[in-house]
Amino acid sequence: MKHLFLLFICLILCSQELFASFEGRRQDAASLAMGGSCSTLHESPFTALCNPAAPAMLTNDAAGIAYGFPFGQSGLSTIQGALVLSSISFDEHASAAIAYERFGNGDYRESTALFSYARALSSWLYAGIGASYMQRNIPGYIRDSAAGVHAGIAVSAGKAAFDLAVANVNTPSIGEYGEIIAARTTAGASYRPVEHLLLSARIDHRQHQNIAWRCGGEAAILNSLLLRAGVTGNPSTVSAGAGVKFSKVSADIAVTRHPDFNETATALSVKIEW
């Protein structure tokens, strides 16, 4: 067990340089409404896209699909799907997740297929690794692909949770000219001061870019109704949204406003657990 944990730590600390595309987009409406802060305290399959260790924190199997409408007339929409198995037959302390993301329009498209494996190393410590196949397509011109490696850890501390992840640790290259897909480091913290209130914050960093920060909150107004709001820096946006939950099914909507562009984007997502 100790050796497995050291492997995860080494993968996180050995990330190198960065550059091109395939940014981490959070189109799960629950997360997006909270500024994209992606709380690991959320019982959401989409947390697998934020940190490969996060699925180990889920108590139920879950699946979800999300669609992000683009800012203004750009036509660059995003669709994401995720499935998490909270335990697997050969290891009851481990979880597995698969996810898919497609971003772009008819003229330019990026797609990513992700598989991750996560394990509870103790009652409070979780670790995960993942691999992704990324493809970039400009119809009639180019069709390039690359493989990425991801690693993450998460800590559960009662009402609080903390996590650290690095996507594309191997900084893969793509295309004829060997463009580097940027490694991305994220760190997040969540806190639930009372049962019906969740606060979350996250920072993202890619080399040669300024740190982006995100924070938000969620309040349960009724047992089945949740209201959310969030802000981000770099770029500066404000967001809000709501969610409803009926038994094991939940639906969420988020609206994000970009003051610099004076444009609004919307995201919808549906999740089910069993």
> Distance between CA atoms of 149 and 130, rounded to whole angstroms?
6
Between the CA atoms of 188, 12, 147 and 161, what dihedral angle is there, to the nearest 10 degrees?
A: -30
- Supply the pLDDT for residue 15: 43
% the chain with pLDDT above 90: 65
Q: Which residues pair with 99 in a beta bridge?
A: 82, 114
> Distance between CA atoms of 191 and 113, rounded to whole angstroms?
30
Name, in order, each residue with C-beta under 8 angstroms of 147's C-beta and a sequence gap of 6 or more.
Answer: 131, 132, 133, 134, 170, 172
CA distances from 35 to 31, 43, 214 (A): 7, 17, 5
**Three-state DSSP class for 11?**
helix
Confidence of residue 21 (pLDDT cuts 50, 70, 90): low
Q: What is the DSSP string of 53-70?
A: TGGGG-SS-EEEEEEEPP
Q: Does residue 176 contact residue 146 with C-beta atoms inside 8 Å?
A: no
Q: Which of 50-59, 186-195, 207-216, 219-228 has the lowest mean pLDDT?
A: 207-216
Q: Does residue 57 contact residue 40 with C-beta atoms inside 8 Å?
A: yes
- Supply the pLDDT for residue 25: 65
Position with higher pLDDT, 7 vs 46 = 46
Q: Is pLDDT of 90 > 70?
A: yes
Q: Which of 73-82, 117-126, 153-162, 223-232 has the lowest mean pLDDT?
A: 73-82
- Supply the pLDDT for residue 91: 86
Average pLDDT over residues 75-103: 92
Between the CA atoms of 202, 207, 211 and 217, what dihedral angle is there, to the nearest 10 degrees?
A: -20
Position with higher pLDDT, 91 vs 21 = 91
Whether the bond between 235 and the residue before it is cis, its omega within 30 degrees of 0, is yes
Domain range enclosing 267: 2-273
- Supply the pLDDT for residue 223: 83
Q: Which of 52-66, 73-87, 229-243 has the lowest mean pLDDT?
A: 73-87
**Three-state DSSP class for 108?**
coil
- Supply the pLDDT for residue 210: 86
E strands along the chain, which residues? 62-68, 77-85, 94-104, 109-120, 125-138, 142-157, 160-167, 173-174, 179-180, 184-194, 197-205, 212-222, 225-233, 237-246, 249-258, 263-273
> Distance between CA atoms of 20 and 31, rounded to whole angstroms?
24
| Amino acid identity at 87 | S
> Distance between CA atoms of 45 and 273, rounded to whole angstroms?
9
How many domains would you assign to the chain?
1
Q: Which of 63-77, 160-174, 260-274 has the lowest mean pLDDT?
A: 63-77
> Distance between CA atoms of 191 and 216, rounded to whole angstroms?
11
Task: Give the domain CATH number at 141.
Answer: 2.40.160.60
Q: What is the DSSP string of 156-168?
A: EETTEEEEEEEE-
Mean pLDDT of the chain: 88
Give the length of the chain.
274
- Supply the pLDDT for residue 1: 53
- Supply the pLDDT for residue 127: 98
Confidence of residue 18 (pLDDT cuts 50, 70, 90): very low
Q: Is pLDDT of 20 > 70?
A: no
- Supply the pLDDT for residue 253: 97
Report which DSSP code applies to 10. Answer: H
> Distance between CA atoms of 249 and 33, rounded to whole angstroms?
18
Confidence of residue 26 (pLDDT cuts 50, 70, 90): low
- Supply the pLDDT for residue 72: 66
